[in-house]
Structure 1
Amino acid sequence: MDKISVVGLVLGLVAIVGGQILEGGHVASLSQPTALLIVLGGTMGAVMLQSPYATFLRGMRMVRWIWYPPMVDYARLIKQICSWSQLSRREGLLALESVMSQLKDDFSRKGLQLLVDGAEPERLREVLEVEINTYEQELKLSARIWEAAGGYSPTIGILGAVLGLIHVMENLSDPSKLGAGIAVAFVATIYGVGLANLVFLPMSNKLKAHINRLIVQREMIVDGLVGIANGDNPRIIESRLQGYVF
């Protein structure tokens, strides 16, 4: 689990609620299911309207990456690619066919298949980079639904506040309800701004960071396979791949 994500979310919520208490306010005044319904429902509706079904669904599934990011083991990957290089130098490129059946990663299998089929290094890089670009674009489009949610949420919150004020205006004849009604109306704005800046936008940025790690992983695979195709020494390949790791 990504503990810093949990700590960050809890810290943000505690700071806001704690500030409310220190100012003499009540936590219950921040609990307004109607305002939450307006903000969350309106925001998700707007995001769904702008997004293709597959993109929206993928973006929802990627939420788990915030707490359980995809595993990327650069050291293990470098070791694996170097073993491919050593095998190809000892027994030839055709020996890599035995390795393909053991791989779970479709991208690595495709790269090895091109290598075994005798693809030229530049052609190999060209084919795999097209796939990387497509993969990156699809993932980033999915991550951007949360960026879009962060843009819509404050506006929907203002809309909820206006709706609440309309309700207040309808009860001007009863002054006892005005103060509470206005307070409830502005809670929608708090939800809109808070969700945008504490949840949606940070989520989008963290997902993009994880996507960048996945892209680096694939670029390392391409670089390693091109090195094998060129007949580079395994130590040279290893040294070049280590340059990707910070």
Structure 2
Amino acid sequence: MDPAALAGIGLAFVAIIGANVMEGGNPAALAAPPALVLVFCGTIGACLAGGVLKDTIGAIQALIKALTAKAVDSTAAVDEIVTLAERARREGLLALEDAAKSIENAFLKKGLQMAIDGTDPEELREILEAEVTAKKAGDKVFAKWFTDAGAYGPTIGIIGTVMGLVHVLENLSQPDKLGHLIAGAFIATLWGVLSANVLWFPISKRIARVSELELAQMELVIEGILAIQAGSNPRVVAQKLKSLIPGGGDAAAEKKAA
């Protein structure tokens, strides 16, 4: 699991609470249940209303995946593909049928099995690229769900503040309560802005980034499978796949093919 998302969100909350304490504030005063219920339930409700139920369910699943996902290791995928290319060149494509059963990467496993089954290269590319396109479209919807949440949150927080100020005006005859009521009114705005910039927008960016890395690896896998199907030299396969990895890949892939 890549800890960047949880560590970043945690650090942001520590900074906010720490700043509050340094200014002499009481962190417990920020945890106002009415404001939390309004901002979070209102934001989720607005996002739910703006799409279909499938979008919200998918967004929750994407959130869990984004927070728990392992870092995508394209170099390891290159090593695995090069190993398969070496065996296919020595023993033939059909010899990979047993090896395909133990492959953990579902996309690689599916594509390799189709190649072993004799799928036409052009048709194989079309099928796999269609899956890449579908995943890209789905991930874009889920990332947008959280971007929308980041837009709704502050506005709903302002609604809470206005509601609080209305309550303040109802109690003008009790000056001793006004300070507490005014402070409470602005808690909703605080949580609206905080949730947008510490939770919703970063999560949206996280989903988009994880998707970007996964899609890049899927593109790499497609090229690798087609190269294996064509019987390309493992060294050439390694060099080609390394060129698709940002930064030029890793020398280990070339060494593996040597």
Q: CA RMSD in A?
A: 2.0
Structure 1 residue 122 and structure 2 residue 122: aligned?
Answer: yes
Structure 1 residue 174 and structure 2 residue 174: aligned?
Answer: yes
Give aligned pairs, total: 246
Distance 1:9 1:40 in 2: 16
**Residue number in structure 1 paired with 2:227:** 227
Alpha-carbon offset, residue 64 of structure 1:
3.1
**Residue number in structure 2 paired with 1:69:** 69
**Residue number in structure 2 paired with 1:23:** 23
User: Structure 2 vs 1, CA of residues 6 and 113 (structure 1 numbering), >3 Å: closer, same or farther?
Assistant: closer
Alpha-carbon offset, residue 204 of structure 1:
1.0
The ranges of structure 1 where at least 4 consecutive aligned residues each deviate by more than 6 angstroms after the TM superposition are: none
> What SS does the aligned partner of 1:34 have?
helix
Deviates more, 1:95-104 or 1:34-43: 95-104
**Residue number in structure 1 paired with 2:91:** 91
Distance 2:124 2:3 in 1: 39
Distance 2:201 2:233 in 1: 45
What amino acid maps onto 2:209 in structure 1? A
> What SS does the aligned partner of 1:14 have?
helix
**Residue number in structure 1 paired with 2:186:** 186
1:1-246 aligned within 5 A: 1-245=1-245, 246=247
> What SS does the aligned partner of 1:232 have?
coil
Q: Deviations over 1:182-241 (max 9, x none)?
A: 110111000000110011101110121111111112111101011123332111111111
Deviates more, 1:19-28 or 1:123-132: 19-28
Q: Deviations over 1:138-169 (max 9, x none)?
A: 12312322111111100110011011111112
What amino acid maps onto 1:29 in structure 2? A
Q: In structure 1, list runs of 5 or more residues that go unmatched.
A: none
> What SS does the aligned partner of 2:232 have?
coil
What amino acid maps onto 1:53 in structure 2? L
Q: Scaled by the length of structure 2, what TM-score is found?
A: 0.87
8 Å contact from structure 1 (residues 168, 182) kept in 2: yes
User: Structure 2 vs 1, CA of residues 101 and 232 (structure 1 numbering), >3 Å: closer, same or farther?
Assistant: same
Distance 2:71 2:18 in 1: 35
User: Structure 2 vs 1, CA of residues 181 and 215 (structure 1 numbering), >3 Å: closer, same or farther?
Assistant: same
Q: In structure 2, list runs of 5 or more residues that go unmatched.
A: 248-258
8 Å contact from structure 1 (residues 70, 210) kept in 2: no
User: Structure 2 vs 1, CA of residues 101 and 182 (structure 1 numbering), >3 Å: closer, same or farther?
Assistant: same
Distance 1:7 1:109 in 2: 33
8 Å contact from structure 2 (residues 2, 71) kept in 1: no
Q: Deviations over 1:84-131 (max 9, x none)?
A: 212222222222322332234442233123312333333322221011
**Identity of matched residues, %:** 38
8 Å contact from structure 2 (residues 2, 70) kept in 1: no
> What SS does the aligned partner of 1:25 have?
coil
